[in-house]
Structure 1
Amino acid sequence: MAATIATIAELGYHQASFARIAERAGLSSTRLISYHFDGKDELMGQAIATIWGDLAGFMGRRVSAQTTPGGALDTYIRSLVEYIRDHRAEMRAATEIFLNFRPEGGTPAQDAATDLSVLSHVERLLTWGQESGEFGAFNVRVTAMAVQRSLDGLPFLLEADPDADLDEYADELAKLFARATRA
Protein backbone atom coordinates (compact mmCIF):
# COMPACT_ATOMS: atom_id res chain seq x y z
CA MET A 1 0.00 0.00 0.00
CA ALA A 2 2.81 2.42 0.82
CA ALA A 3 4.27 2.01 -2.68
CA THR A 4 0.84 2.48 -4.25
CA ILE A 5 0.16 5.66 -2.30
CA ALA A 6 3.64 7.06 -2.98
CA THR A 7 3.37 6.28 -6.70
CA ILE A 8 -0.01 7.98 -7.02
CA ALA A 9 1.24 10.99 -5.04
CA GLU A 10 4.32 11.37 -7.22
CA LEU A 11 3.05 10.40 -10.69
CA GLY A 12 -0.69 10.93 -10.48
CA TYR A 13 -3.57 8.49 -10.68
CA HIS A 14 -3.37 7.75 -14.40
CA GLN A 15 0.37 7.04 -14.37
CA ALA A 16 0.19 4.74 -11.33
CA SER A 17 0.38 1.43 -13.18
CA PHE A 18 1.02 -1.94 -11.58
CA ALA A 19 4.48 -1.86 -13.21
CA ARG A 20 5.39 1.48 -11.64
CA ILE A 21 4.01 0.45 -8.26
CA ALA A 22 5.92 -2.85 -8.39
CA GLU A 23 9.10 -0.99 -9.33
CA ARG A 24 8.70 1.41 -6.37
CA ALA A 25 7.95 -1.49 -4.02
CA GLY A 26 11.03 -3.38 -5.21
CA LEU A 27 8.95 -6.27 -6.52
CA SER A 28 10.28 -8.41 -9.34
CA SER A 29 6.87 -8.78 -10.96
CA THR A 30 3.43 -7.20 -11.04
CA ARG A 31 2.04 -10.69 -10.35
CA LEU A 32 2.60 -10.11 -6.64
CA ILE A 33 0.19 -7.18 -6.82
CA SER A 34 -2.27 -9.10 -9.02
CA TYR A 35 -2.22 -11.96 -6.53
CA HIS A 36 -3.65 -9.69 -3.82
CA PHE A 37 -5.84 -7.39 -5.94
CA ASP A 38 -8.17 -8.28 -8.81
CA GLY A 39 -7.31 -5.09 -10.63
CA LYS A 40 -6.61 -1.40 -10.36
CA ASP A 41 -10.12 -0.71 -9.03
CA GLU A 42 -9.60 -2.97 -6.03
CA LEU A 43 -6.09 -1.60 -5.44
CA MET A 44 -7.34 2.02 -5.54
CA GLY A 45 -10.23 1.18 -3.24
CA GLN A 46 -7.82 -0.32 -0.73
CA ALA A 47 -5.45 2.65 -1.05
CA ILE A 48 -8.19 5.13 -0.19
CA ALA A 49 -9.46 2.88 2.62
CA THR A 50 -5.92 2.76 4.04
CA ILE A 51 -5.56 6.54 3.96
CA TRP A 52 -9.00 7.18 5.49
CA GLY A 53 -8.43 4.50 8.13
CA ASP A 54 -5.13 6.06 9.17
CA LEU A 55 -6.70 9.52 9.24
CA ALA A 56 -9.70 8.32 11.26
CA GLY A 57 -7.45 6.66 13.83
CA PHE A 58 -5.22 9.72 14.10
CA MET A 59 -8.14 12.07 14.65
CA GLY A 60 -10.26 9.71 16.71
CA ARG A 61 -7.58 9.34 19.40
CA ARG A 62 -7.23 13.09 19.74
CA VAL A 63 -10.86 14.13 19.56
CA SER A 64 -12.14 11.39 21.87
CA ALA A 65 -9.69 12.51 24.58
CA GLN A 66 -11.50 15.86 24.84
CA THR A 67 -13.97 16.42 27.66
CA THR A 68 -15.78 19.50 26.33
CA PRO A 69 -17.52 20.17 23.02
CA GLY A 70 -15.40 23.28 22.45
CA GLY A 71 -12.21 21.32 23.07
CA ALA A 72 -13.40 18.54 20.78
CA LEU A 73 -14.24 20.97 17.95
CA ASP A 74 -10.91 22.77 18.32
CA THR A 75 -9.07 19.43 18.34
CA TYR A 76 -11.05 18.15 15.36
CA ILE A 77 -10.00 21.15 13.30
CA ARG A 78 -6.40 21.25 14.45
CA SER A 79 -5.80 17.51 14.19
CA LEU A 80 -7.17 17.30 10.65
CA VAL A 81 -4.94 20.21 9.57
CA GLU A 82 -2.00 18.55 11.36
CA TYR A 83 -2.62 15.26 9.57
CA ILE A 84 -2.83 16.98 6.19
CA ARG A 85 0.36 18.93 6.96
CA ASP A 86 2.30 15.84 8.03
CA HIS A 87 0.90 13.42 5.42
CA ARG A 88 1.12 15.39 2.22
CA ALA A 89 1.84 12.39 0.01
CA GLU A 90 -1.20 10.57 1.37
CA MET A 91 -3.38 13.64 0.84
CA ARG A 92 -2.05 14.11 -2.69
CA ALA A 93 -2.81 10.46 -3.44
CA ALA A 94 -6.28 10.75 -1.86
CA THR A 95 -7.00 13.84 -3.96
CA GLU A 96 -5.85 12.05 -7.13
CA ILE A 97 -8.03 9.05 -6.33
CA PHE A 98 -10.98 11.27 -5.41
CA LEU A 99 -10.79 13.16 -8.69
CA ASN A 100 -10.11 10.20 -11.00
CA PHE A 101 -11.27 6.86 -9.54
CA ARG A 102 -14.31 5.41 -11.30
CA PRO A 103 -14.66 1.75 -10.31
CA GLU A 104 -16.39 -0.59 -12.73
CA GLY A 105 -19.87 -1.43 -11.57
CA GLY A 106 -19.56 0.99 -8.67
CA THR A 107 -20.11 4.63 -8.00
CA PRO A 108 -17.56 7.37 -8.60
CA ALA A 109 -15.39 8.42 -5.68
CA GLN A 110 -16.89 11.88 -6.07
CA ASP A 111 -20.13 10.54 -4.60
CA ALA A 112 -18.38 11.03 -1.27
CA ALA A 113 -18.79 14.76 -1.84
CA THR A 114 -22.57 14.39 -1.75
CA ASP A 115 -22.76 11.76 0.99
CA LEU A 116 -24.12 13.60 4.01
CA SER A 117 -23.01 10.82 6.37
CA VAL A 118 -19.50 12.30 6.21
CA LEU A 119 -20.88 15.15 8.30
CA SER A 120 -22.28 12.92 11.05
CA HIS A 121 -19.23 13.09 13.35
CA VAL A 122 -19.17 16.91 13.21
CA GLU A 123 -22.96 17.09 13.61
CA ARG A 124 -22.76 14.87 16.73
CA LEU A 125 -20.05 17.11 18.18
CA LEU A 126 -22.05 20.28 17.49
CA THR A 127 -25.25 18.75 18.91
CA TRP A 128 -23.32 17.77 22.04
CA GLY A 129 -22.21 21.40 22.38
CA GLN A 130 -25.75 22.73 22.00
CA GLU A 131 -27.23 20.18 24.42
CA SER A 132 -24.56 20.95 27.03
CA GLY A 133 -25.18 24.70 26.69
CA GLU A 134 -21.60 25.40 25.66
CA PHE A 135 -22.68 26.22 22.10
CA GLY A 136 -25.42 28.59 21.08
CA ALA A 137 -28.32 28.14 18.68
CA PHE A 138 -27.39 27.55 15.05
CA ASN A 139 -28.28 25.15 12.28
CA VAL A 140 -26.16 22.07 12.99
CA ARG A 141 -26.16 20.82 9.36
CA VAL A 142 -25.08 24.17 7.94
CA THR A 143 -22.33 24.60 10.53
CA ALA A 144 -21.11 21.02 10.14
CA MET A 145 -20.96 21.53 6.37
CA ALA A 146 -18.98 24.76 6.82
CA VAL A 147 -16.51 23.10 9.22
CA GLN A 148 -15.99 19.99 7.10
CA ARG A 149 -15.76 21.69 3.72
CA SER A 150 -13.30 24.29 5.01
CA LEU A 151 -11.06 21.36 5.93
CA ASP A 152 -11.78 19.28 2.82
CA GLY A 153 -10.48 22.13 0.68
CA LEU A 154 -7.07 22.23 2.35
CA PRO A 155 -5.38 19.64 0.07
CA PHE A 156 -6.49 21.73 -2.92
CA LEU A 157 -5.06 24.88 -1.30
CA LEU A 158 -1.75 23.08 -0.83
CA GLU A 159 -1.66 22.16 -4.52
CA ALA A 160 -1.92 25.87 -5.36
CA ASP A 161 0.21 27.14 -2.45
CA PRO A 162 2.52 24.40 -1.10
CA ASP A 163 4.10 26.87 1.35
CA ALA A 164 0.82 27.91 2.99
CA ASP A 165 1.18 28.37 6.74
CA LEU A 166 -0.94 25.51 8.03
CA ASP A 167 -0.51 26.45 11.68
CA GLU A 168 -2.05 29.83 10.88
CA TYR A 169 -4.77 28.09 8.84
CA ALA A 170 -5.62 25.86 11.82
CA ASP A 171 -5.57 28.80 14.25
CA GLU A 172 -7.84 30.92 12.07
CA LEU A 173 -10.34 28.10 11.46
CA ALA A 174 -10.41 27.15 15.14
CA LYS A 175 -11.05 30.78 16.16
CA LEU A 176 -13.65 31.25 13.43
CA PHE A 177 -15.69 28.24 14.48
CA ALA A 178 -15.25 28.97 18.20
CA ARG A 179 -16.88 32.37 17.54
CA ALA A 180 -19.55 30.85 15.29
CA THR A 181 -20.61 28.27 17.88
CA ARG A 182 -20.32 30.41 21.01
CA ALA A 183 -23.34 30.48 23.31
Structure 2
Amino acid sequence: MQSENISDGQEERSFIEIARRAQIIECAINVIAELGYAKASLAEIAKRAGISKGVISYHFAGKSELMQQVISTVVEKAGAVMLPRIFAEHSVAGMLRAYIESNLEFLDSHRNHIRALMYISGGARRDDGKPAIDLTLTFDPAVRELENLLRSGQEQGEFREFSPRVMAVTIRSAIDTVSLQLAVYPEMDLKIYANELATLFNVATRK
Protein backbone atom coordinates (compact mmCIF):
# COMPACT_ATOMS: atom_id res chain seq x y z
CA MET A 1 0.00 0.00 0.00
CA GLN A 2 1.20 3.52 -0.77
CA SER A 3 2.44 5.55 2.16
CA GLU A 4 3.74 9.04 2.76
CA ASN A 5 6.34 10.18 5.27
CA ILE A 6 5.19 13.13 7.33
CA SER A 7 8.07 15.58 7.76
CA ASP A 8 7.02 16.95 11.16
CA GLY A 9 7.97 13.75 12.93
CA GLN A 10 4.59 12.03 12.83
CA GLU A 11 4.55 8.37 12.01
CA GLU A 12 4.28 7.27 8.43
CA ARG A 13 0.65 7.22 7.38
CA SER A 14 -1.08 5.09 4.80
CA PHE A 15 -2.77 6.58 1.77
CA ILE A 16 -6.16 5.76 3.31
CA GLU A 17 -5.27 7.54 6.56
CA ILE A 18 -4.10 10.62 4.67
CA ALA A 19 -7.35 10.64 2.68
CA ARG A 20 -9.41 10.25 5.86
CA ARG A 21 -7.61 13.15 7.55
CA ALA A 22 -8.20 15.32 4.48
CA GLN A 23 -11.90 14.39 4.52
CA ILE A 24 -12.22 15.33 8.20
CA ILE A 25 -10.43 18.64 7.66
CA GLU A 26 -12.64 19.60 4.71
CA CYS A 27 -15.75 18.64 6.63
CA ALA A 28 -14.55 20.70 9.61
CA ILE A 29 -14.06 23.71 7.33
CA ASN A 30 -17.62 23.47 6.04
CA VAL A 31 -19.15 22.92 9.48
CA ILE A 32 -17.24 25.86 11.02
CA ALA A 33 -18.17 28.09 8.07
CA GLU A 34 -21.85 27.20 8.53
CA LEU A 35 -22.21 27.00 12.33
CA GLY A 36 -19.31 29.00 13.72
CA TYR A 37 -16.47 27.79 15.93
CA ALA A 38 -18.40 27.12 19.15
CA LYS A 39 -21.06 24.92 17.54
CA ALA A 40 -18.58 23.03 15.38
CA SER A 41 -18.04 20.23 17.87
CA LEU A 42 -16.14 17.07 17.01
CA ALA A 43 -19.43 15.20 17.30
CA GLU A 44 -21.08 17.49 14.74
CA ILE A 45 -18.11 17.26 12.38
CA ALA A 46 -18.15 13.46 12.68
CA LYS A 47 -21.89 13.41 11.99
CA ARG A 48 -21.48 15.50 8.83
CA ALA A 49 -18.56 13.32 7.70
CA GLY A 50 -20.54 10.12 8.26
CA ILE A 51 -18.04 8.72 10.74
CA SER A 52 -17.84 8.22 14.49
CA LYS A 53 -16.29 10.79 16.80
CA GLY A 54 -13.72 8.15 17.69
CA VAL A 55 -12.39 8.22 14.12
CA ILE A 56 -11.62 11.93 14.51
CA SER A 57 -9.96 11.26 17.86
CA TYR A 58 -7.84 8.60 16.20
CA HIS A 59 -6.47 11.09 13.66
CA PHE A 60 -6.36 14.25 15.79
CA ALA A 61 -5.47 14.74 19.46
CA GLY A 62 -8.42 17.11 19.91
CA LYS A 63 -10.28 20.07 18.50
CA SER A 64 -7.26 22.36 18.86
CA GLU A 65 -5.06 20.13 16.70
CA LEU A 66 -7.83 19.79 14.12
CA MET A 67 -8.16 23.59 13.98
CA GLN A 68 -4.41 23.94 13.45
CA GLN A 69 -4.66 21.51 10.56
CA VAL A 70 -7.57 23.48 9.11
CA ILE A 71 -5.38 26.60 9.12
CA SER A 72 -2.45 24.74 7.54
CA THR A 73 -4.72 23.30 4.85
CA VAL A 74 -6.13 26.71 3.93
CA VAL A 75 -2.62 28.18 3.72
CA GLU A 76 -1.44 25.31 1.50
CA LYS A 77 -4.45 25.62 -0.81
CA ALA A 78 -3.91 29.36 -1.10
CA GLY A 79 -0.28 28.77 -2.04
CA ALA A 80 -1.30 26.28 -4.72
CA VAL A 81 -3.50 28.93 -6.32
CA MET A 82 -1.17 31.90 -5.90
CA LEU A 83 2.39 30.70 -6.45
CA PRO A 84 2.07 29.59 -10.11
CA ARG A 85 0.51 32.96 -10.97
CA ILE A 86 3.19 34.91 -9.14
CA PHE A 87 6.19 33.06 -10.56
CA ALA A 88 4.82 33.24 -14.09
CA GLU A 89 5.53 36.99 -14.05
CA HIS A 90 8.81 38.45 -15.30
CA SER A 91 8.87 41.69 -13.33
CA VAL A 92 8.54 42.38 -9.62
CA ALA A 93 5.68 44.80 -10.32
CA GLY A 94 3.92 42.00 -12.20
CA MET A 95 4.54 39.61 -9.33
CA LEU A 96 3.04 42.08 -6.87
CA ARG A 97 -0.07 42.48 -9.00
CA ALA A 98 -0.34 38.69 -9.36
CA TYR A 99 0.09 38.31 -5.58
CA ILE A 100 -2.86 40.60 -4.88
CA GLU A 101 -5.14 39.38 -7.67
CA SER A 102 -4.53 35.67 -7.07
CA ASN A 103 -5.03 36.13 -3.33
CA LEU A 104 -8.46 37.63 -3.88
CA GLU A 105 -9.19 34.97 -6.49
CA PHE A 106 -8.59 32.40 -3.76
CA LEU A 107 -10.87 34.27 -1.35
CA ASP A 108 -13.58 34.30 -3.99
CA SER A 109 -13.34 30.60 -4.85
CA HIS A 110 -12.80 29.33 -1.27
CA ARG A 111 -15.25 31.39 0.75
CA ASN A 112 -15.98 28.62 3.27
CA HIS A 113 -12.26 28.24 3.93
CA ILE A 114 -11.86 31.93 4.66
CA ARG A 115 -15.03 32.06 6.77
CA ALA A 116 -13.74 29.12 8.80
CA LEU A 117 -10.46 30.92 9.49
CA MET A 118 -12.37 33.98 10.67
CA TYR A 119 -14.51 31.93 13.04
CA ILE A 120 -11.50 30.07 14.39
CA SER A 121 -9.63 33.31 14.96
CA GLY A 122 -12.59 34.90 16.75
CA GLY A 123 -13.91 31.88 18.65
CA ALA A 124 -11.04 29.67 19.78
CA ARG A 125 -10.06 30.83 23.28
CA ARG A 126 -7.95 29.44 26.12
CA ASP A 127 -9.10 29.49 29.75
CA ASP A 128 -7.40 32.88 30.23
CA GLY A 129 -9.40 34.35 27.36
CA LYS A 130 -6.48 34.62 24.97
CA PRO A 131 -6.74 33.20 21.42
CA ALA A 132 -6.09 29.46 21.37
CA ILE A 133 -4.96 29.62 17.74
CA ASP A 134 -2.16 32.07 16.97
CA LEU A 135 -2.85 33.32 13.44
CA THR A 136 0.25 35.51 13.59
CA LEU A 137 2.09 32.28 12.79
CA THR A 138 0.60 32.55 9.30
CA PHE A 139 0.35 36.36 9.07
CA ASP A 140 3.99 37.09 9.94
CA PRO A 141 5.56 34.70 7.38
CA ALA A 142 3.24 36.10 4.69
CA VAL A 143 4.32 39.63 5.56
CA ARG A 144 8.00 38.67 5.51
CA GLU A 145 7.69 37.06 2.07
CA LEU A 146 5.89 40.13 0.74
CA GLU A 147 8.51 42.34 2.35
CA ASN A 148 11.25 40.43 0.52
CA LEU A 149 9.37 40.84 -2.77
CA LEU A 150 9.06 44.59 -2.26
CA ARG A 151 12.71 44.93 -1.32
CA SER A 152 13.66 43.01 -4.46
CA GLY A 153 11.65 45.51 -6.50
CA GLN A 154 13.58 48.36 -4.93
CA GLU A 155 16.94 46.68 -5.56
CA GLN A 156 16.05 46.13 -9.22
CA GLY A 157 14.99 49.73 -9.62
CA GLU A 158 11.30 49.05 -10.24
CA PHE A 159 10.03 50.49 -6.96
CA ARG A 160 10.62 53.80 -5.21
CA GLU A 161 12.18 54.07 -1.77
CA PHE A 162 9.79 53.19 1.07
CA SER A 163 9.71 50.95 4.12
CA PRO A 164 9.21 47.39 2.78
CA ARG A 165 7.87 46.35 6.18
CA VAL A 166 5.26 49.09 6.39
CA MET A 167 4.17 48.55 2.79
CA ALA A 168 4.00 44.76 3.25
CA VAL A 169 1.85 45.05 6.39
CA THR A 170 -0.41 47.57 4.61
CA ILE A 171 -0.90 45.33 1.56
CA ARG A 172 -1.49 42.23 3.69
CA SER A 173 -3.97 44.06 5.92
CA ALA A 174 -5.85 45.43 2.90
CA ILE A 175 -6.23 41.90 1.53
CA ASP A 176 -7.26 40.40 4.87
CA THR A 177 -9.92 43.09 5.33
CA VAL A 178 -11.66 41.72 2.24
CA SER A 179 -12.59 38.63 4.27
CA LEU A 180 -14.54 40.80 6.71
CA GLN A 181 -16.18 42.64 3.82
CA LEU A 182 -17.28 39.36 2.26
CA ALA A 183 -19.01 38.35 5.49
CA VAL A 184 -21.14 41.51 5.31
CA TYR A 185 -21.41 41.90 1.54
CA PRO A 186 -21.28 38.40 -0.01
CA GLU A 187 -22.31 39.84 -3.37
CA MET A 188 -19.03 41.78 -3.69
CA ASP A 189 -17.34 41.55 -7.08
CA LEU A 190 -13.84 40.52 -6.07
CA LYS A 191 -12.46 40.86 -9.58
CA ILE A 192 -13.16 44.58 -9.47
CA TYR A 193 -11.86 44.79 -5.90
CA ALA A 194 -8.67 42.92 -6.86
CA ASN A 195 -8.01 45.19 -9.82
CA GLU A 196 -8.49 48.31 -7.70
CA LEU A 197 -6.19 47.04 -4.95
CA ALA A 198 -3.52 45.97 -7.45
CA THR A 199 -3.68 49.36 -9.17
CA LEU A 200 -3.57 51.20 -5.84
CA PHE A 201 -0.40 49.46 -4.72
CA ASN A 202 1.16 49.72 -8.16
CA VAL A 203 0.82 53.49 -7.85
CA ALA A 204 2.04 53.39 -4.24
CA THR A 205 5.22 51.46 -5.02
CA ARG A 206 6.35 52.56 -8.47
CA LYS A 207 8.94 55.27 -9.09
TM-score (norm 1): 0.92
Q: 1:4 corresponds to which residue?
A: 28
The aligned amino acid for 1:6 is N
Q: CA RMSD in A?
A: 2.1
Aligned length: 182
Partner-residue secondary structure (3-state), 2:159: coil
Structure 1: distance between partners of 2:152 and 2:195: 22
Matched, 1:167 2:191: yes
Partner-residue secondary structure (3-state), 2:79: helix
The aligned amino acid for 2:101 is R
The aligned amino acid for 2:142 is V
Structure 2: distance between partners of 1:56 and 1:90: 13
Note the residue ranges of structure 1 that are not aligned, 5 or more in a row.
none
Shift of 1:117: 3.6
Shift of 1:115: 6.0
Contact 1:123 1:144 survives alignment (8 Å)? yes
Matches within 5 A, 1:12-161: 12-27=36-51, 29-102=52-125, 108-110=132-134, 112=136, 116-161=140-185
Shift of 1:63: 1.1
Matched, 1:178 2:202: yes
Change (3 A) 1:162 1:148: same
Structure 2: distance between partners of 1:154 and 1:47: 20
* Deviation sequence 1:4-36 (CA, Å, 0-9, x none): 111001111100011111111111x11110111
Q: 2:22 corresponds to which residue?
A: none
Contact 1:99 1:109 survives alignment (8 Å)? no
Shift of 1:48: 1.1
Partner-residue secondary structure (3-state), 1:109: coil
* Deviation sequence 1:118-142 (CA, Å, 0-9, x none): 3111111101110111111111111
Shift of 1:147: 0.6
Partner-residue secondary structure (3-state), 1:153: helix
Structure 1: distance between partners of 2:96 and 2:102: 10
Note the residue ranges of structure 2 that are not aligned, 5 or more in a row.
1-24
Structure 1: distance between partners of 2:27 and 2:137: 26
Contact 1:99 1:110 survives alignment (8 Å)? no
Shift of 1:64: 1.9
